[in-house]
Amino acid sequence: MNTASPSTNGSERIAIVGLGYVGLPLSLQFARSGVTVLGLDIDDKKVTALNAAQSYIHHIPATAIAAQISSGRLVASTDFSRVRTVQAVIICVPTPLNKNREPDISYILKTGEAIAPHLQRGQLVVLESTTYPGTTEEDLRRVLEKSSGLKAGADFHLAFSPEREDPGNPDSFVAEIPKVVGGFTPACRDRAAALYGRAIKTIVPVSSCRAAEATKLLENIFRSVNIALVNELKMVYGAMDIDVWEVINAAKTKPFGYMPFYPGPGLGGHCIPIDPFYLTWKAREYGQSTRFIELAGEVNTAMPDWVMQRVAEALNSRRQAINGARILILGLAYKPNVDDDRESPSYIFLQKLKERGAEVAYHDPYVPVIRPTREHAHWAGTQSVPWTKASIRSFDLVLISTAHAQVNYAELLEWSPLVVDTRNVTAGLTAAPGQVWKA
């Protein structure tokens, strides 16, 4: 590991492809560090918003964007031919799973096809999108070389550096998060490390793109497996009438050999529910089984059904059924204090409750209206119900799916007759007997 200080020399010009939750913060950090950034995206609404110094991500203030736009160090465009004017291109595009739960690297390959005709000798291309080992030096390299006529490692540099973002964490700063960098050749790695050293304090070089790709998968598989463990213990301890949250809080007082993980209603976000399956899919190519990872996936995937069971039990205690009940999902984002709803288990609850005959709605101060996506197109345009006494009292049950700090949970217990809490946010608050059910 080596530590590099950001340079104040502003002569370098880079392009960052994909201006979402990863690409935009990275663009701002490079611009703050004196690097001129060309932000590229196929979404002209994002491009228009950025050039007008407007933010479309809740935790990124418009003032931060305005400072870099006005300085001339950040400009956005949909014109991919402009990559010929930069020294480096960083790719930050989505890598979802397809309907068969297999890796979909089409966004990476399409980006490679878009930039390859404009690739110049001596340029650096870095992939940041989470993927399986081999994507950079096999799949992306093949696309870049085919259309450009150039050779990676000889005519241009190629590297992988996994994104590390923690949206909603006020103590998380792009510049402070160590950056793992692996290259197609040692020279490729060194070139990428030098670039990132301009904007990020600590650079962690590894031996190859594959090692860097595997590092990201390990980080997220570690979380997935440990979350599955506490989710399973939640059900086991619940059957024993033991509060798993009390047990976790006691266990984390141990100053060594233990790290707390917390149960929830299911996995959400762009990483933890998806990334482990990139490795399980690739492992089959090598004749390797990933039983531990797949078991964790099964446990986490089953959590929404367990929560639904608790919802049914809570309603049954009031001589009600899900069919015909008015149910409010509290929190649509996948984690607290962000507007990112990708892979959120709340969508599973919306769908399952609707299918079982409930009249279902949601409240989320960060997601006032559901945006069109290919996964949840039929929910697009649905609006968050207002946070008022009359509104909350109109529901038979409130299911807490995401624990936003902005929500007044004392008011919730005052207004709602029945609450199912998957996040333990009602602990310590005054509730009537049988009003709050843990899930």
Looking at the annotation, which residues are catalytic? 271
Q: What is the DSSP letter of 82?
A: G
Contact present, 203 and 4 (Cβ < 8 Å): yes
The sheet with strand 88-91 has its strands ordered as 2-3, 202-205, 179-183, 157-160, 124-127, 88-91, 13-17, 36-40, 74-77
Token pair of 358 as six digits: 């409930």
- Cβ neighbours of residue 317 under 8 Å, at least 6 residues apart? 434
Encode burial over 323-334: b for 16+ CB neighbours within 10 A, e otherwise.
eebebbbbbbbb
Token pair of 217 as six digits: 């998968």
Alpha helices (runs of H) in 137-243, residue ranges in sequence order? 141-148, 186-196, 209-239
Nearest one of 176, 97, 172 to 130, comparing CA atoms: 97
Does an H or E element contain 110, and which? helix 106-115
HSE (side-chain half, CA atoms, 13 Å) at 120: 12
- Cβ neighbours of residue 404 under 8 Å, at least 6 residues apart? 331, 333, 336, 337, 364, 365, 366
Nearest one of 248, 240, 170, 160 to 207, comparing CA atoms: 160
Gap between the Cα atoms of 149 and 120, Å rounded: 10
Gap between the Cα atoms of 121 and 388, Å rounded: 60
Contact present, 358 and 324 (Cβ < 8 Å): yes
Cβ count near 15 (within 10 Å): 26
